[in-house]
Amino acid sequence: MSKDPTIGVLALQGDVREHLVALAESGATARPVRRPEELEGLDGIVLPGGESTTIDKLSRIFGVREPLIELLRSGLPAYGSCAGMILLADRVLDGRPDQQTFGGIDMTVRRNAFGRQVDSFEEDVALEGVEGDVRAVYIRAPWAEEVGEGVEVLARVEHGPAAGKIVAVRQGALLATSFHPEVTGDARVHELFVEGVRERS
């Protein structure tokens, strides 16, 4: 494939612009995706932070939900941060009764696991595949309560009452973090994803 993979950012709600910037800094050609036809030609996609139930609802309204699920099932690489992690999970705890996900990662996530907006915090975590600590920003973030055998745990909370909780995972072409690397100005998590997209293409 070409040097620069084309990676979309699901642009229905959430911190889309920050992901576009981080992807561009990581050597990808990045573009927003709102409609089914904008999925064509992608080498990968990012599911941003935001509000998972809102993104789920809007994905139906814009008609992008079903074609995106089909692409994920067929092996399209994806990276989900915060709400994106919830959307990539096969199972959700503490979600709304009508909430559905796109699925793909054999894990159970707990929505708003760290508490309300006022309980948001930051810490440095060791993330497998990235040299040096990564600044993790948790904003009403989920964590993975449990993962299946095929899921690789890349990072855990290192301090405080949530120490040991799973906050970054990978299964095949799918990567997910509880935290928001796109808001820190550090593109190393995106570089990890982009490199994985290149390898799979």
Rounded CA gap, 152 and 148, in Å? 9
Cβ count within 10 A of residue 81: 30
Residue of 18, 19, 123, 182 with catalytic role: 182
pTM value is 0.94
Residue of 18, 19, 123, 180 with catalytic role: 180
- Report phi then psi at 185, rounded to 5: 80, 5
Q: Would you call 145 helix, strand, or coil by DSSP?
A: strand
Q: Which two tokens stand for residue 131?
A: 């040299």
Using only C-alpha atoms, what is the Rg of the chain? 15
In the residue annotation, 159 being an active-site residue is answered as no
In 3D space, the residue among 124, 129, 128 whose CA is nearest the CA of residue 159 turns out to be 124
pLDDT in tens, 74-108: 999 999 999 999 999 999 997 777 778 999 999 99
In the residue annotation, 37 being an active-site residue is answered as no
- Report phi then psi at 149, rounded to 5: -60, -30
Task: Classify domain 6-200 by CATH architecture.
Answer: 3-Layer(aba) Sandwich (3.40)
The DSSP-derived string for 5-47 is -EEEEE-SSSSHHHHHHHHHHTT-EEEEE-SGGGGTT-SEEEE
The per-residue pLDDT of the chain, averaged, comes to 93
Residue of 19, 82, 190, 191 with catalytic role: 82
Q: What percent of the chain has pLDDT over 70?
A: 97
pLDDT in tens, 103-154: 999 999 998 887 765 457 889 999 999 999 999 999 889 999 999 999 999 9
